[in-house]
Amino acid sequence: MTVHNEQRSWVESANGHSDFPLANLPLGVFSRDGDQPRGGVAIGDYILDLRAACEAGVFDGQALEAAKAASVSSLNAFFALGASARKALRGALMDLLAEDSAQRERLQGMGESLLQPMNRCQMHLPAKVGDYTDFYVGIHHANNVGLLFRPDNPLLPNYKYVPIGYHGRASTVDVSGSTVKRPNGQTMPPGATEPSFGPSKRLDHELELGIWIGQGNARGESIPIGEASSHVAGFCLLNDWSARDLQAWEYQPLGPFLSKSFATSVSPWVITPEALEPFRCAQPARAEGDPQPLPYLFDQQDQQQGALDIELEVLLLTETMRDKGQPAQRIALSSTKNMYWTVAQMVAHHSVNGCSLQPGDLFGSGTLSGSSADSLGSLLEITQGGKLPLELPSGETRTFLQDGDEIILKARCRRDGQASIGFGECRGRVMPA
């Protein structure tokens, strides 16, 4: 692979692009004008059509194998190929799209048959989700929610020993831009003696990092912590929509069920581990007195380089703001550095009992709130369970989401000497029950 110091591309819009410069090259599944969905790569304001690129003969060897696997209507087969094939494709794409590419003239001559304008394409779920597991690794969120329900004992004893998670509903994971229908369910209103049924009145968002699994493990065989990172195919943004009133009634004793299973939104682009390599950092030190992870969850290299430095943002756009042409309002700015457990620890723990992970499985990190009031990743925390309404510049207030409200998640990676990259958006608008 050629080394590109300035990482400039002949695709002009990629140079200095807020999300998709040459340093990023995330993969997704798109369609245009009713065509069959197929794999593509984001570069600036365009999508490189991998099927067209394969047909044009621009790849060879392992990169060709990877490009063919990624050119179809889901990325599961590409995820299954693992890190070596993924890196080969990335290297070939860097060479093809670099400003000094030997194939520049030929590729430019292919026009829109190769590079599709992103604003004219529809994005699809990047992979078929076989299983979806939602973790709870945001310690500030866990503490804040615990304080609301158990003021004397916010964190249960297992939290600092176990990466807590629950199995979610894979069939209701949907891509950014899909609407979210307000769920119906049972609730127990304060002071009532029996539950009532109807639309959720306390609908909420959750700011999360999504993790796509690549190569899996054989049933009965666990993934060692030192190898866990190699089983991750990529990352996305994830909004785990939550009906807090349904949740409060149903969660005892077995945890979330209908309060979570009605919708989960993910951003359409899979950001590769290689694109995020420059933004790796040490796992934040545990508080004094916290236990050391058990040996199967502890790896020195993972502690030194297993965390990610990704800025996370939540914006809210109400119906009134939309009608007045007002921009979405930021309501939280947080970071993946608020994860108490690393992604590798999540993978190692999920498989330690012999559970088999498969290509296309999806993890959610759990809500990644920070420690400050402006970094809270859910309205449950921002409004302290609905007691302190959030005031918006439009003059409106919110305790929980109303019909017509749209939640937009964004992410940004920055580091001196590195090209900044983003994740694209994860959007969802609430529709009436």
pLDDT (tens digit per residue) in 360-417: 999 999 999 999 999 999 999 999 999 999 999 999 999 999 999 999 999 999 999 9
What CATH number does the domain located at 132-431 have? 3.90.850.10
Is the N-terminal amide bond of 253 cis, ω within 30° of 0?
yes
Residue 226: exposure state from Cβ atoms within 10 A (0-12, 13-18, ≥19): middle
Q: What pLDDT, on a 0 to 100 scale, did the predictor assign at position 5? A: 41
Strand partners, 301: none
DSSP string for 47-87 = EEEHHHHHHTT---HHHHHHHHHHSSS-SHHHHHH-HHHHH
Q: What is the mean pLDDT of residues 191-206?
A: 97
pTM for the model? 0.97
Catalytic sites, residue numbers: 141
* 4 pLDDT higher than 70: no
Looking at domain 12-122, its CATH architecture is: Roll (2.30)
Q: What is the pLDDT of residues 172-181, one digit of tens each?
A: 999 999 999 9
User: What is the total residue count of the chain?
Assistant: 433
pLDDT surpassing 80 at residue 108: yes
- pLDDT value of position 58: 96
pLDDT given for residue 106 in this prediction: 94
AA letter at 152? D
What CA–CA distance (Å, rounded) separates 266 from 314?
A: 14
% residues pLDDT > 70 (the chain): 99
**Predicted local distance difference test score (pLDDT) of residue 6:** 53
Q: Where in the chain is the domain with CATH 2.30.30.230?
A: 12-122
Which regions of the chain carry the CATH code 3.90.850.10?
132-431
Token pair 């080969």 in the structure block, residue: 88
Mean pLDDT of the chain: 96
